Structures are given as C-alpha cells and as structure tokens.
Amino acid sequence: MSTIQPYDAEEWTQYLTDRDFSVRASSLRRIQKALQSDKTSMKDLNRLIKSDPLLCLHVVKAASILHAEKGSVVTGVEHAISSLGTDNLEKLINSMKGTRLNAHSTADKMYFRATANSHHAAVQVRSWLEHARKGMFTEESYLAALFYGIGHWALWHHAPLHMSQMQIKIREQGKDSETVERELFGCTIKDISHGLAVSWNLPELVQTSLAEDLPLNKRTLMKLHQRSLEDPRLRGEELRELNHLVQQRFFPVKLSNWLAGTATFGWHKPTTLHIIDIVSDYLKSELGSTMSLLHKNCAQSSRDYFVVGTLTPAAEMLFIPSSHQGGYKLSEAEYKFCSKHFPIPRPRKIQTAVGSDSKLKDPALIATVNERFLQYAQDYQHPSEVLKDLLKVLVQGVGMERVSLNTLNTRSQILKVIHSIGFSSDHPLNQSQHQTDTQGLFSRLYDKVACIMVNQDNTHRISKMLPDSYKQHINDSNYLLMSVFMNSKPVAIVYADMGEAATEIETVQHKQFKQLCTAATSCLAALSKN
C-alpha cells in the first residue's frame, strides 16, 4: 500500500475511492447463509443488510452504478437491494472482504466505532422525521445520515496514523477539530466524505448534506442554540435565515451527525447538551421527552449494530463525567506497523512569510506543496504528477485564474498546449498548437530556466516574440511565463494570468509563482535520480 501523503480533498478522495471497506466476517456469514436459504424473504435481506453500515455502503454503491446508467437515483437501502436483485446481490456479497476485529488494534476498533456512530446518527434522524415530519424523506435521510461520516470510516481504515494524531491534538491538546483536520489533511473530513460521495455517485441528499457549508463550530451552535431558547437578541434577517436553515432537508442529517459525533466525547459535555436543546426545538418537544427519545434511539442503534470488543454509543450514556477517555490513539507497536503501510502525517506548515498576504488564496497550501517539492520528491512516481500539482497550487494557492502547460518540439518548433486550468472548455487555447521560431520567447525559455512577468512596461517588446496564433488568445499585458527543467533538459513552460479581465498580478503572486516553479524544477531533478 502506498505511503504517499495526500494533501487536499481531491488527493484524499483519489487515495480512498478504490480502497476496500472491510465488513465484519460475522455479518458476511449471516447474509451469505440467508441468500442460500429458500426460506429467506426480501424483508429478511433488508433487515440483515440494514443492520450493518458497511454492508449498506457496498450495496448502495453497487446499486448507484446501475441507476447512474439509467439516469435515476437510489432513494434508500431497500430500494438499492431491490434494484440489484438476488443474483447481483449474491455476487456482490461473495466479492466482499470479511474481517475479524483485532482486539489489540486501536485502528480496527476506531474503524468500527466510526461506523457505529454513523449508524447511531441514521437511527436518530429516522426517528426524528417520523415524529416531526410524518415520515417524509425518511429513507433518503437515513442514508444521508448513515454516509455523512464515511470519511471517518475510510481514514481510520486507510490513514490511521493521521486519525490517531488528530485524536491526540483534540483530546490532549484541546485543539478545535476543524483546525486540526485542515492541518493534518489540508481540508476537513467532511470535504473528504463529500469527495467520496460524489466519486461513488451516492444519493443526492448524501452529496447535498455534505456540500452545504454548515460547520460544527461555536458560532453555528451558539446561533442555533439561541434560536432554540427563543433568545430575543435574535431578530430580523438573522432569525429568518436560521428559520430557513432548519427547514432544509439536509439540516436533520447534519444535526444527527453532530449529536452522534459529540456524544462520543461525552453525553454530559456542554456542546452535546446544546445540541440536544437544538434537537428538542427541531422536534418541538419538551426537553425531558427529547432526552428520553434520544437515549431510546441510541440504545436501539447499539442493539442493531455492535461489534464485540468495541464500545457502543449507548454504553457511553451510562458513563459519569470522568477524565478517562478510553483508547483513541495507536500504541507504539501499532504506530510502527502502520508507518510501513499507510500515509505518514506531515502537518501543513503555514509560513508567516506568505501568511499575511491577503492576495494569496491559500498560503498554507503553497507552503505544503513547496515543502513537498523540496523535501518529498519520493511522493511522486512520474514528472506529470509534479506538473499537475504545480498547476493546481498556482490556482488554488497563489490565486491565478488561468494556467496552462506548454511544450516545445525544438526540431519542428511546434508549441503545444497540453493541459490547462481555468480556461472555458471551448477556449481555443486548450489543446492547441502553434508554429514558433528559434528566436521566439518560448525557444529562449527552452534554452535556460527563466521567469518572465509581462506588464504594461514590456508588453510591446515581448509580444513580438510570441506566435500570433498564441498571443491572440491570452492577455495583452498581464501574465507570467516560466520554464521548468528536469536536470538540464526542458520539460515545459508554465503560463499564468488573472483571467480575461486582466486583473493586475501582485508582486507576492509573481514571487510565489517563481518560487513554486523553481521548487518543481528541483523536485523533477530529485525524481530523475530516484
């Protein structure tokens, strides 16, 4: 298994999309036995599959592929099962990987704990909608709540070093979870869950719930808690926005996952109690009745889905407040083992040199990619991966609107645009080629590493050195060009601008553009030696 460190939501999604999601061996045995029996009804299959979140994930993923071909969507677990049919379901079940819990593995226990938390959230939201919405969208919401935390499942299974470090920073150092996630993963775990949901074509409400930017933070909770208490300080547009928010279909999905995620740190913690107030308001129920319902649902979830050797969500209800937090981090032996098989955490370092420049879109990303180019060339297998990361960070980090990668055949003097970001799909520069000459600017950039910033002062002189067919599709007087080499051989020339509006490129952007292209050249040199 690769130990390369992904550094943003896109890379984590690519890393996790095709990984296995092991199902408990006991769950597989029960469903296989049921499929072989003539006495098994569809109702029995539904019950067995819905009792295990990992079985649900595999079944819904498979059914979503079939529905995508027809232009339709999966609306629930039972719908997914009936869509597959018995034969396809049996093939799918037989292809799954079963696993037994390793009692000495924190990663294993936390993997199943994460799925149990998701099951808890799904059971809660199903109950709420039956009480407050007369069962409307129950099955879709159940699925959305169940899969809202798939990033947590995936990361405990395939990036346990990161997840262990995250728990340490939150539980022992008292850091905010979202800050820690961005430091370790370059994004939130919700972003990774969303990437996986899109990649697997999971139902629309799953994707919508994860796409909506409503984080679990102090401000969000404070406002919703104020609303639940009918705080008179909330009024006007702010109150109307909160009322509108609570009516959205994704809201109970998020709320149930907030509850399940915070309750696992303690049912008596202030954050958990605030969320319970919000749930009570959502259900329009008395607090005592709400608490009773939540505990009942939690107990029901723990009966339906449990893994021997792990703590159930319901068991945590019985704990009195204590500083003891149970096992949440890898042992020294497990850390050593995982270091050979999984990505090793390299937290993002925000450099103060660029951190204060507001024109830069993501200084932390710039620092991360720059560090990766200069210190971790072994992360890459092919030069194209380096160039891809370079273009991505120029847009997502430096804030350039459009970038393109250009190569030159020095024999024919044909310039080709091989890749671009930010140009419209029908833009004539995409995948184009242009005749140039040996005295042109591109030829000179292919002779030696150089960075050119074109502005009002030099545009007249530079323009004469570009092919007419190329310059008519770029900005007249506001762009950057720099060559990237692999040892002494030219690889490509990078073009970057601020879009058709020709917004001025700031000095700090010019500086970071040059620094990143130089770092990419160093990375390519190191890659060639490996």
Residues, the chain: 530
Q: Contact 73/204 with Cβ under 8 angstroms? A: yes
Beta 98-99 vs 402-409: how paired, if at all?
unpaired
Closest CA to 61 of 239, 254, 206, 232: 206
Residues 6+ apart with CB under 8 A from 277: 225, 228, 229, 287
Q: Where are the beta strands (DSSP E) in 3-79?
A: 23-24
Give the residues across from 415 on adjacent strands. Answer: 408, 434
- Find the DSSP H helices in 284-362: 287-304, 332-338, 352-355
Burial 476-495 (b: 16+ CB within 10 A, else e): eebbbbbbbbbeeebbbbbb
Q: State the first-to-last Cα distance of the chain, in angstroms, to the nearest integer.
A: 19
Give the residues across from 497 on adjacent strands. Answer: 402, 479
Phi, then psi, of 497 in degrees rounded to 5: -145, 180
Low-confidence stretches of the chain (pLDDT < 70) are: 1-3, 324, 348-358, 502
> What sign does the CA torsion over 12, 13, 16, 18 have?
negative
Write the DSSP symbol of residue 474: S
489-497 β-sheet, strand order: 433-435, 414-421, 402-409, 489-497, 479-486, 451-454
- For residue 177, the one-letter residue type is S
Per-residue confidence (pLDDT) for residue 1, from 0 to 100: 43
Task: Tell me the three state secondary structure of residue 390.
Answer: helix
- C-alpha separations of 401 from 124, 204, 498 in Å: 44, 30, 5
